[in-house]
Structure 1
Amino acid sequence: MKKQRGIKRAFGDGGIDQRGENVYRLRYRIGGKRFTKTIHGTLGEARKELRALIRAGDTGDHVDPNKLTVSQWIDRWIEAGAPGRKKKKVGQRTLERYEQLLNTHVKPAIGDQALQQLRAAAIDELYASLEGKIAPRTAHHVHVVLGAALGTAHRTRLIAVNPMAHVQQVPNPDAVQPADDEADDLGEGLEETELAALIAGFKASSSLFCIVALAAASGARRNELLALRWTDLDIEKKKLRIERALEQTKKFGIRIKPPKTKRGFRTIDLDDATLAILLVERAKHQRLLSGVPDGTDVDLTLVRLPPKAFLFPAVPERGEDINLTAPRNPRNFSKEFARRASVLGFGSTRFHDLRGIHATALLDAGIPVHRVAERIGDDPAVLLRNYAKRKRAKRADESMSTTLAMIASGFLGS
């Protein structure tokens, strides 16, 4: 057995005792009170941790590592941006979802337990208590988020062993969905005739039809579509750039952000029918901006829209003029879509399902997985996992452009 040895520090800095190979005990004082903490790592990491503990005492942020509760650690982890293995903060929308899951399901059950004394059995009991009370997928999200929080505690050496490694009853949803805002599940599938009927039913709603049609023809996400500007449309090349998305959070409201991953930045091809619908929508905006009434024959190419004008701006309140540069409320839009879809007899269809329907149609037509993934801004592996079960017949001899035209003509009636 190795002999313990003390490592001298300057007076007032505390002390470090080596307890074994890469195991150190930190000794320090805060407000005249003694504290100790054992960490696993190198001597340099031990020194860094000791400095951090003493600094926390100076700023009033110190918590006895032996008394830190699960709730206190959750609050600290959320405040830090819920960093994961790569030490990156998550988006605000995801952060708020994490906080909701932990506050609602974890804190009431195990929040008062000391973090260093948390055992797998307590987590198993937590999961057992959730059975039948929440959806299996939500229970799995709780597991993923709690695991991420405890994983960070383990990496930062607040706990010597991660109890998640010994959990026996991991919630197992029917279809596992990641706990981040990249999530894409299987969704509701529609045949071509059903899709045509759904989109035709939205023609009576001028504020919804164009978005629904573009979603079905592009596979883009709701928040990507609502962040599109007219400057993103290349009419001559029949292409649409996707380089931003809306984010709606409690803290910041509605704001624009870049796509979460590099895959989100992309340029997609448009078929003639979809492009024609967009041009009709642009003409409406040009008439609104210039005050030219419908039916008046004028050269609208002379009317320039604001550089930051959205394809689908906010719907004005009664008596107010439309503001082409104001973003549309994503949640309100989803509610509008759900209400209209229910009236049309498609109550189980979500707006997000149009993305899956588009990807499935391309896969069925024999378009390679990597090309479909590039088009919808997804990981090929995720795409396969979520949509492979919906693939039917392949027509590998058709090109992407031909397939897009066929899909669009099917539901747009061109």
Structure 2
Amino acid sequence: MAGSIKERSPGSWSLIIDLPRERGEKRRQKWVTFKGTKRAAEKELARLVTEIEDGKHVEASKLTLGQWIEEWLKAGAPGRRQKKVSQRTLERYGQLLRTHVKPKLGHRLLQKVRATEIDQLYSDMADAQLITPRTQHHVHTVFGGCLATAHRKGLIATNPMEKVEQIPSPEAFNPENQEADDQEIDGIDEIGEGLTETELAKLIAGFKSRTVYPIVVLAAASGARRNELLALRWSDLDVGKKTLRIERALEHTKKFGIRIKPPKTKRGLRTINLDDDTMAVLLKEKQRHLRLHAGIPDGAEVDLSLIHLPSKALMFPALTVSFTTPRHPRNFSRDFADRAEKLGFGKTRFHDLRGIHATALLDAGIPVHTVAQRIGDDPAVLLKAYTKRKRTTQADEKLSEAIASLAAGFLSAG
């Protein structure tokens, strides 16, 4: 491939590149304006020729980062697997980028965004301390996905994110400073100190007089996510086998409101075993629903097997007049947190019951892959979160017992 330079005016040059052409095709050239010395123009010409020959050249564009962010979101925020994310996740991505990235860098040409500017953005976020380190890391993850797609589509020659040095770390996450939003944590990406068996019993007992009591019990006994629990139907419960199928979840978005959809990942589709005490709580709740549905007062003796709830009746509906209207997830979490704080449990969240359940099983020596399958999570993510938390007294006791048993075994052999 040939190229030449032509001086337009002092310090201004036209870089002329002869582009490849098919047989019978007219001559094609690419003209690029360059300002600088003749030597610098020759170097830039050589660079452009090499890029074009290697198929790495990106045409100049006036597309701004802000415009590309909106295009990426409109396309469904596709990632490396080129799949769209859920509507709820998409709205969260939009919130992060529009709040923390666009105001600072949205005006910049997409092709001109530099790693140093991103470093400065992250440094400013950290200095302002308006959002937690964990949310700062979420911003980095989403922003990185946005730029990676631009690079994959050939809109930028290189991805500036690859040279960023001020990457926010989620390790400094402080539960006391978590901002309140409507984003449910899908995985166990952080496990707090948890509660002892006595403390957990006290917490759950504090909800016994409330209609949400069965939800709290099932959350602690199953490790299921809030939005999975609120989407459960009575048809998901197999009384004979004492199992519960989890095959859907609530999704709360601005576009669609509250709706029921399949779980986010295949891991979410699962069947879990329940203990007798939890089954008893659920069956008592179903009897209450049957009486309400048929208008039968408490204490009246009737054959409840003759009463049938709607086929899509929810276990924990918002209204017991329809039984199919889901609860508002954000309001439910807020009410739980308020009640837990009044009971003396500080900033305990409903989602913490999921972490407490997983921690208890792991402390009891249940294999990590078995626990992960039960709660519908990635074993690697679960293990990483578990290893970051402080050991509990129960875990230390289990460790001591295991070491004693191991030592007794090999010492007795000698």
TM-score range, shorter chain: 0.7 to 0.9
TM-score, with structure 1 as normaliser:
0.80
Amino acid aligned to 1:172:
S
Residues 247 and 255 of structure 1 are in contact (CA less than 8 Å); yes or no, is this contact kept in structure 2? yes
Q: 1:43 corresponds to which residue? A: none
CA 1:390–1:298 in structure 2 vs 1: closer, same or farther (change >3 Å)? Answer: farther
Q: Distance in 2 between matches of 1:75 and 1:303?
A: 52
Structure possessing the higher radius of gyration over alpha carbons: 2
- 1:254-269 aligned at under 5 Å gives the runs 254-269=258-273
Q: Distance in 1 between matches of 2:234 and 2:101?
A: 45
Count of aligned pairs between the two proteins: 351
1:267 match: secondary structure: strand
Amino acid aligned to 1:130:
M
Gaps of 5+ in 2: 4-17, 31-47, 175-182, 400-414
Q: 2:336 corresponds to which residue? A: 337
1:201 and 2:206 are equivalent in the alignment:
yes
Amino acid aligned to 1:307:
S
Residues 193 and 390 of structure 2 are in contact (CA less than 8 Å); yes or no, is this contact kept in structure 1? no
Q: 1:375 corresponds to which residue? A: 374
CA RMSD of aligned residues (A): 2.5
Q: 1:111 corresponds to which residue? A: 106
Q: 1:172 corresponds to which residue? A: 169
Q: Distance in 2 between matches of 1:278 and 1:101?
A: 39
Residues 245 and 259 of structure 1 are in contact (CA less than 8 Å); yes or no, is this contact kept in structure 2? yes
* Misfit runs of 4+, over 6 Å: 9-12, 14-18
Residues 19 and 28 of structure 2 are in contact (CA less than 8 Å); yes or no, is this contact kept in structure 1? no
Amino acid aligned to 1:194:
E
- 1:267-282 aligned at under 5 Å gives the runs 267-282=271-286
Q: Distance in 2 between matches of 1:182 and 1:339?
A: 22
Shift of 1:387: 1.8
Which one of the candidate residues 303, 308, 322 is aligned to 1:304? 308
Residues 245 and 256 of structure 1 are in contact (CA less than 8 Å); yes or no, is this contact kept in structure 2? yes
1:154 and 2:151 are equivalent in the alignment:
yes
- Identity within the alignment, %: 60
Q: 2:55 corresponds to which residue? A: 23
Amino acid aligned to 2:361:
L
1:214 and 2:218 are equivalent in the alignment:
yes
Q: Distance in 2 between matches of 1:97 and 1:203?
A: 34
1:133 match: secondary structure: coil
Q: Distance in 2 between matches of 1:247 and 1:335?
A: 17
CA 1:130–1:74 in structure 2 vs 1: closer, same or farther (change >3 Å)? Answer: same
1:284 and 2:283 are equivalent in the alignment:
no
Residues 232 and 316 of structure 2 are in contact (CA less than 8 Å); yes or no, is this contact kept in structure 1? yes
Q: Distance in 2 between matches of 1:143 and 1:382?
A: 19
Q: Distance in 2 between matches of 1:257 and 1:306?
A: 19
Residues 248 and 260 of structure 2 are in contact (CA less than 8 Å); yes or no, is this contact kept in structure 1? yes
Q: What are the Cα deviations for residues 54-76 of structure 1, in whole angstroms up to 9, with x where unaligned?
A: xxxxxxxxxxx511000000000
CA 1:24–1:307 in structure 2 vs 1: closer, same or farther (change >3 Å)? Answer: same
TM-score, with structure 2 as normaliser:
0.80
Gaps of 5+ in 1: 26-36, 39-64, 397-414
Shift of 1:187: 3.3
